[in-house]
């Protein structure tokens, strides 16, 4: 009888295994999303900003390769293309003398949340930006 009291019986149940698996998964995901290095979680983003009714002489002050910054000085990308057209007034189709509409294509690096230097880029977003030769305010019309 004394021998039975000293022996303890250990048994593992399915509930014990589920608890252990849940703890391991929690530890894994905590490490992955809290302590992992976010390097490499970026992608290239091209977006087009439409700037309306800029004075025609100012439309020549932008060039492919210019670096673009937000109003607060955050790097927003590099100009990869631009197009200048005569500015059109509303839906009437009349052109505005000595004014141009610009479409500026900007290439940037976005993080996994789609942010460029902390700024969310989406169609319809109004942006205030500048290059070395031009300050402009426009609306994002395309994101690729």
User: In this predicted model, what pLDDT tens digit does every residue of 7-19 receive, in sequence order?
Assistant: 677 788 889 899 9
* Region label for 14, one of left (φ > 0), alpha (ψ between -120 and 50) or beta (otherwise): alpha
pLDDT of res. 76: 97
Question: What's the CATH number of domain 42-143, 3.90.550.10, 2.40.30.110, 2.50.20.10, 2.60.40.3080?
Answer: 2.40.30.110
CB 50 within 8 A of CB 101: yes
In this predicted structure, what is the pLDDT of residue 4? 59
Position with higher pLDDT, 128 vs 32: 128
Q: Which residue has the higher pLDDT, 2 or 98?
A: 98
The closest of 120, 111, 124 to 70, measured between CA atoms, is 120
Angle at 136 between CA 70 and CA 48, to 5 degrees: 75
pLDDT of residue 38: 56
pLDDT band, very low/low/confident/very high, at 107 (cuts 50, 70, 90) = very high
Strands 115-116 and 67-70, by their bridges, are: unpaired
pLDDT-based confidence at residue 131 (cuts at 50, 70, 90): very high
């Amino acid at each position: 009888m004394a021998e039975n009291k000293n022996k303890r019986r250990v048994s593992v149940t399915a509930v014990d295994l589920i608890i252990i698996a849940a703890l391991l998964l929690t530890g894994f995901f905590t490490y992955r999303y809290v302590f992992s290095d976010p390097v490499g979680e970026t992608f290239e983003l091209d977006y087009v900003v439409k700037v309306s009714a800029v004075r025609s002489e100012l439309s020549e002050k932008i060039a492919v390769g210019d670096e673009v910054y937000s109003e607060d000085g955050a790097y927003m990308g590099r100009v990869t293309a631009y197009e200048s057209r005569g500015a059109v007034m509303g839906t009437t189709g009349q052109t505005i003398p000595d004014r141009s509409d610009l479409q500026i294509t900007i290439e940037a690096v976005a993080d996994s949340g789609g942010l460029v230097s902390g700024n969310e880029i989406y169609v319809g977003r109004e942006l205030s930006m500048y290059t070395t030769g031009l300050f402009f305010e426009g609306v994002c019309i395309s994101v690729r």
